[in-house]
Structure 1
Amino acid sequence: MSHSKSKIWVHAVFATKDRQPLITPIIRPTVHSELRNQLITMACFVDCIGGVTDHVHLLFLLNPKKSMADVVKQIKGGSSHMFNQTKLTATHFAWQIGYGAFSVSESHVPRVRAYILNQEEHHRNVTFMDEYRRFMVHYGLPVDEIG
């Protein structure tokens, strides 16, 4: 092959520090817009972003020249820096240290997109911790308790 090709869909999930309910409906569009901007800066195509007051979900194509760790570090660090510079929240804004990043089959992109865009409805019945545990079990990862 003379050219490298890749198409890796990623469903990423991360929470606000201590799962504080900082992402109110009023600022949610700004938060999602900045996360989108950070992903675009990393040359990642963004499909959709969703979430509730204490966490976000992102569906994007990973730039083949970037590692997952570098992308997540940039989007979390760049966004929280902007939120604090502009005083988006009354208190200091920070993301939790960890994150989840899961590959998504092309055939499952529509289902994951619908799931991400329906977060408010989904979280009327399921807590973030329950959702987190389900992801760990689904992907065969150890279930550790997050703070």
Structure 2
Amino acid sequence: MGVGTFSQIYIQVVFAVKGRNSLIKSDWEEELFKYITGIVQNKGQKMLAINGMPDHIHFLIGMKPSCCLSDLVREIKKSSNLFINENGFSKYKFEWQEGYGAFSYSHSALDNVIKYINNQKEHHRTKTFKEEYKDFLLKFQVEHKDEYLFKWIEDRFDQNS
């Protein structure tokens, strides 16, 4: 970036535990969030909010235009995967699902997005992750094919019925 270029891009990233298993436990999620925040900061980006549920996480970052989002997400997934498994946080092998959602926001929307992320636990009392994720895709008019979305736990049961 040249001298005199000032920019900040705000992105909410969402991704799930593989198979949407509820493996992220409340007794170690805070350590995971701190670890992921460290990765984001080490890459020179700004963590604005991070939270999640046992089966998925959300975070909002202020990103510099020189940052490659797909590389950042790949690094976060790979490193946090190792972090969880090496610390023995989960009694099952922990893995993130392939893929992620990324949604951009204007500066004026940040307070609402931060509140939304911070209130994840409350929010999911009334809405499943599947409903939430599909709402994001519709709200942001993201073209998608349902078969390419995360593998949902309930889909595995549907196939067996």
TM class by shorter chain equals over 0.9
Q: Tell me, what secondary structure is at the counterpart of 2:121?
A: helix
Matched, 1:130 2:153: no
Tell me the TM-score normalized by structure 1: 0.94
Matched, 1:48 2:49: yes
Q: What is the deviation of 1:63? A: 3.1
Long gaps (5+) in structure 1: none
**Counterpart Cα distance in 1 of 2:50 and 2:77:** 14
Alignment match, 1:80: 81
Alignment match, 2:102: 101
**Match for 2:142: what amino acid?**
L
- Equivalent residue runs for 1:1-147 within 5 Å: 2-145=3-146, 146-147=150-151
**Counterpart Cα distance in 2 of 1:48 and 1:25:** 17
Q: What is the deviation of 1:48? A: 1.0
**Match for 1:101: what amino acid?**
A
Alignment match, 2:155: none
* Structure-2 change in CA distance of 1:21 and 1:67 (3 Å): same
Alignment identity in percent? 32
Q: Tell me, what secondary structure is at the counterpart of 2:125?
A: coil
Q: Which has the larger radius of gyration?
A: 2
* Structure-2 change in CA distance of 1:63 and 1:88 (3 Å): farther
Tell me the TM-score normalized by structure 2: 0.87
Q: Tell me, what secondary structure is at the counterpart of 1:39?
A: helix
Q: What is the deviation of 1:98? A: 0.7
Report which stretch shifted further, 10-19 or 25-34. 25-34
**Count of residues paired in the alignment:** 147
**Counterpart Cα distance in 2 of 1:85 and 1:43:** 25
Q: What is the deviation of 1:42? A: 1.2
**Counterpart Cα distance in 2 of 1:142 and 1:55:** 22
CA contact (8 A) 1:137 1:143 kept: no
Q: Tell me, what secondary structure is at the counterpart of 1:51?
A: strand
